[in-house]
Amino acid sequence: MDQKDLAPREIIQQQLAKVVQIEANLLRTVDGFKDISPQIFRSIRRDLNQWHDQLPPWMHLNALVKSCELPKGTRRTVFLVHLFYLSAHILVARLAHGNQGTSPPRYEIDEVRTAAADGVLAARTASRILQLKLDEQTIYQRCWLCE
Residues 6+ apart with CB under 8 A from 5: none
Kindly state whether residue 18 falls inside one of the protein's structural domains. no
Kindly state whether residue 13 falls inside one of the protein's structural domains. no
Q: Compute the mean pLDDT over every residue in the chain, rounded to the nearest whole number.
A: 84
Kindly state whether residue 4 falls inside one of the protein's structural domains. no
Kindly state whether residue 70 falls inside one of the protein's structural domains. yes
Kindly state whether residue 10 falls inside one of the protein's structural domains. no
Kindly state whether residue 28 falls inside one of the protein's structural domains. no
pTM of the full structure: 0.84
Residues 6+ apart with CB under 8 A from 119: 89, 90, 91, 92, 93, 94, 96
The number of domains in the chain is: 1
Q: Which domain holds residue 56?
A: 37-135
Kindly state whether residue 146 falls inside one of the protein's structural domains. no
Whether the per-residue pLDDT at 72 is higher than 90: the answer is no
pLDDT for residue 63: 87
pLDDT for residue 69: 79
pLDDT for residue 107: 62
Kindly state whether residue 23 falls inside one of the protein's structural domains. no
